[in-house]
Amino acid sequence: MTKTKIAIIARLSLWAILCLPLSACGNPTEEDPVRPRVRADFRYNGSGAIQAKVFVEGTDGNSVSAAVVMVRDARNVVTQLDYVPSSLAYTGLLEEPDAYSVYTVEVATVLSDSIIALEVPYSKPSGVPNVTVFQDSGGNSVLNGQALVSSGGVQIGWADGGGGATYRVTIRTALKTVYAVSTKARTVTVPANAIPAGSYVLEIVAQNTYGDLYFRSAPYYSASSLRAPLVSCNVN
């Protein structure tokens, strides 16, 4: 056997050894493609409609801008959302339902062999949380035009916003908030001396929410709210 033949055999043997871990040096098996991540954010826009945003994120973490995104409501009405580069989302306005409803988001993209669907529950509070009680421990009532004395605490109550509503109660000036709380009850008692002397407005908002604002426990978030008329007050 000549030196040339020995060298060729040695090279072939080395190539075979190197190729064993790579399944004989054939094309590597392609993994099943991972579908894009879809997240939806539906929020009441304050004028009778829902501001819908749908985020479509590719496997590389970047926004997908060439998908077709549709939203189907309970009446089978379909709305196509347009991609807005500034928000990196597909956006559009939807008609707000009168009662609990579920919207279906449908995303078509070349990055997925099938339509990606996501259901988003939504409902608005059934009633405005109008203030019914706003008085101090001595019985002085803002609703009767009286100033409050905060040294004994202040009681606030409001009308029912409907089952499942969460209420956000805020006492503030134009520049700062002096008291704020979120509750599912329809009454709160502000602790003694929590409100300094001065002039304020009381704001109560009823809100229905579903999903997760940060998209950690759910790939959607929806929120609708009704705001009661502001109530002005003076505290001594």
144 and 221: one domain?
yes
Query: What's the whole-number average pLDDT of the chain?
Result: 89
Q: Cα–Cα distance between 165 and 170 in angstroms, integer?
A: 16
Q: Cα–Cα distance between 112 and 109 in angstroms, integer?
A: 6
Query: Given the structure tokens 């379909």, which residue do they identify?
Result: 78
Count the alpha carbons within 13 Å of 82 in the hemisphere toward its beta carbon. 4
Q: Is the Cβ–Cβ distance between 167 and 183 less than 8 Å?
A: yes
Query: Mean per-residue pLDDT for 191-200?
Result: 96
Q: Cα–Cα distance between 207 and 225 in angstroms, integer?
A: 4
Q: Judge whether residue 177 has pLDDT over 50.
A: yes
Answer yes or no: is 176 within a domain.
yes
Tell me the residue range of the domain where 197 lies: 131-235
Per-residue pLDDT reduced to its tens digit, 20-39 = 443 333 333 333 357 899 99
* Paired tokens of 213: 């604002």
153 and 106: one domain?
no
Query: Given the structure tokens 């089952």, which residue do they identify?
Result: 163
Q: Cα–Cα distance between 19 and 25 in angstroms, integer?
A: 5
User: 145 — phi, psi (to 5°)?
Assistant: 85, 15
- Which pLDDT score, from 0 to 100, does residue 35 have? 87
- Which pLDDT score, from 0 to 100, does residue 164 have? 86
117 and 152: one domain?
no
Query: Given the structure tokens 């306005």, which residue do they identify?
Result: 93
168 and 146: one domain?
yes
Per-residue pLDDT reduced to its tens digit, 68-104 = 999 999 999 999 999 999 999 999 999 999 889 999 9
- Which pLDDT score, from 0 to 100, does residue 26 have? 39
Please give the C-alpha separations between residue 103 and each of 85, 201, 216, in angstroms, as whole numbers.
24, 36, 20
Q: Is the Cβ–Cβ distance between 74 and 54 less than 8 Å?
A: no
93 and 136: one domain?
no
112 and 155: one domain?
no
Q: How many domains does the chain have?
A: 2
User: What's the predicted TM-score (pTM) here?
Assistant: 0.77
Q: Is the Cβ–Cβ distance between 97 and 123 less than 8 Å?
A: yes
Query: Mean per-residue pLDDT for 51-58?
Result: 98
Q: Cα–Cα distance between 165 and 149 in angstroms, integer?
A: 30
